[in-house]
């Protein structure tokens, strides 16, 4: 019998100003696009911003539907647009944020399992770790890659 431990490193910032300029820009882009999310059912408006290898920023937000499974999260809206239009460009970083029903930054936010799997595909496809910035009301959590958000993930093989 053997036990293994999986360690996730999360760097936490209390203040946006502690982050490097390009991270701050990405978070501000996510906050801006969150306002134009289509979220009449949940009232939870999510914004995602991707920094591509050429410095370009691509944004997306959640798009809901009366038939709820048809809707799409902000992360995949941005990611699939990026991969469709720039199939040769790796994604270097992702920022996500959300505005709650009261119009405040959401207290907590982390990508859903489906988005983690979708993001992991891009990380593996380009062999390029995607820095993940989770922007919430009281802090910003930074992870070095998507893989750490999805231990024991499915990739045809196990990619711990
Ligand atoms: N949502 C996202 O867009 N991204 C996440 O990381 C979590 C959830 C959306 C889906 C749905 O439109 C709304 O937030 C409430 O779940």
- Give the model confidence (pLDDT) of 142-153 as tens digits: 999 999 999 888
Write b or e for each residue in 48-67: b if 16 or more Cβ atoms lie within 10 A of its Cβ, otherwise e: bbbbbeeeebbbbbbbbeee
Query: Are 64 and 71 contacting, i.e. CB atoms less than 8 angstroms apart?
Result: yes
Dist. CA 99 → ligand 1 center (Å): 11
Dist. CA 2 → ligand 1 center (Å): 37
Residue 44 in contact with ligand 1 by CB distance below 6 A: yes
User: Which pLDDT belongs to residue 70?
Assistant: 98
Closest ligand 1 atom to the C-alpha of 110? 6
Query: Which candidate, 55, 50, 98, places its Cα nearest to that of 77?
Result: 50
Which residues have C-beta within 8 Å of that of residue 58, sequence separation ≥ 6?
49, 50, 52, 78, 81, 82, 85, 86
In a 10 Å sphere around its CB, with 0-12 CB exposed, 13-18 middle and 19+ buried, how is residue 85 labelled? Answer: exposed
Residue 74 in contact with ligand 1 by CB distance below 6 A: yes
- Confidence (pTM): 0.95
Q: How far apart are CA 132 and CA 144, in angstroms?
A: 6
Residue 73 in contact with ligand 1 by CB distance below 6 A: yes
Task: Name the catalytic one among 5, 21, 75, 157.
Answer: 75
In the structure, what pLDDT confidence band is assigned to residue 158 with cuts at 50, 70 and 90?
A: low
Radius of gyration of the chain from its Cα atoms, rounded to whole angstroms: 16
Q: How confident is the model over 62-72, as a mean pLDDT? A: 97
Query: Are 77 and 48 contacting, i.e. CB atoms less than 8 angstroms apart?
Result: yes
Q: How far apart are CA 103 and CA 98, in angstroms?
A: 9
User: Which pLDDT belongs to residue 104?
Assistant: 96
Residue 63 in contact with ligand 1 by CB distance below 6 A: no
């Amino acid at each position: 019998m053997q036990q293994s431990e999986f360690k996730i490193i999360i760097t936490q910032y209390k203040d946006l100003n502690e982050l490097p300029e390009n991270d701050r820009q990405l978070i501000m882009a996510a906050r801006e696009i969150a306002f134009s999310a289509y979220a009449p059912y949940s009232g939870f408006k999510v914004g995602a911003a991707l920094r591509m290898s050429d410095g370009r920023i691509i944004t997306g937000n959640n798009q809901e539907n009366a038939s709820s499974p048809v809707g799409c999260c902000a992360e995949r809206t941005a990611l699939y647009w990026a991969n469709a239009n720039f199939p040769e460009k790796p994604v270097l970083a992702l920022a996500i944020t959300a505005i709650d029903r009261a119009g405040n930054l959401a207290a907590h936010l982390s990508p859903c399992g489906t988005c983690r799997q979708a993001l992991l595909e891009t990380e593996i496809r380009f062999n390029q770790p995607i820095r993940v910035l989770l922007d919430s009301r009281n802090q910003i959590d930074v992870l070095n890659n998507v893989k750490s958000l999805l231990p024991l993930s499915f990739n045809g093989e196990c990619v711990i």
